[in-house]
Amino acid sequence: MPPRNNRDSPFLRLPPEIRNRIYDLALGSRVKHVTTKECRKTDYGAYPGGRLYRRIYTSSDRYVKFLHLVCHEPADAEELIYRNSMDLSQPKTPCYGSRHENCYSLIGYSPALGDQAGDTDCAGRKRQATRSLTMGLTRVSRDIHRETALIPYANNTFAFHKCAEMDLFVTKILLAPQRAAIKTIQIYGYGDAVYRCSSITGQVAKVLTGLHTLRLNLPGWILKTNGQKLYRMLGKGFETLRVICEDNNYHKFRSNSKEELRKFAEQIEKELMKRA
């Protein structure tokens, strides 16, 4: 769009607060599940799989690329779940993996079994996952691009089920302005932060300078096993910290009471907030 047309555009003459509201409706207020899929070495955006798990996958012919899926749940759904976790008079809610089962089925991931790369049905769904965020608005004109370029990063929650994928995404995929714009991250499960074989750099908290809200959905047994190792990747204070310890329905510790689960969560919150 030529500069003169930009100045004459009825849309650009709208008050900034109205434009920002429209931008947020189009590009923000969503949860984006971020994961990887296997690909060919020659594919755009391909990374050696060993960057995720340097000791598990060492084959030179395994490459991965990132994909994202817009969650079917509203952006504030996990806040409501968090409030429920603190209300001991309410029954326990289904675990995170169950709540997001529809999303995970599209990207070929099972909270019980992990990635289903060998399952052709799951692999096919993963290739066809199309609930992505439409970015066309950011390319309408230079003026609109200038106003909207960082909104998909600042106004959305980025959700990960593998800490190694989060590490690679943050440190290698995003540009510095995009990293600085991200405000909210959501992690399901204790992830591979606790595995010695993970190639996590521990740089996530350092490079996400704008991050102020962290949401952790953890199995109730996390502190019984590797709780301390979780902190090495998240060693900073947060303006808002939401930790939910919950039954994941696949582990022997799933019989914890809601009160016990909340105590586990409070211990993790206390430990992370001490690092402010």
Would you say residue 10 lies in a domain? no
Radius of gyration of the chain (CA): 20
pTM comes to 0.83
- What does the block give as tokens for 167? 């590490």
Position 56 scores a pLDDT of 47
Say which residue the tokens 């996990």 belong to. Answer: 78
Closest CA to 155 of 13, 252, 14, 23: 23
Q: Is the dihedral of CA 23, 26, 27, 28 positive or negative?
A: positive
Between 122 and 48, the higher pLDDT residue: 48
Would you say residue 100 lies in a domain? yes
Would you say residue 11 lies in a domain? no
Position 255 scores a pLDDT of 59
Between 71 and 130, the higher pLDDT residue: 71
Q: What percent of the chain has pLDDT over 70?
A: 70
Would you say residue 125 lies in a domain? yes
Would you say residue 5 lies in a domain? no
Mean pLDDT of the chain: 78
The number of domains in the chain is 1
Give how far Cα 89 sits from Cα of 13, 83, 92, 139, 148, Å: 51, 12, 9, 49, 43
Would you say residue 7 lies in a domain? no
Q: Which domain holds residue 180?
A: 17-273
Would you say residue 216 lies in a domain? yes
d(C-alpha 12, C-alpha 24), whole Å? 15
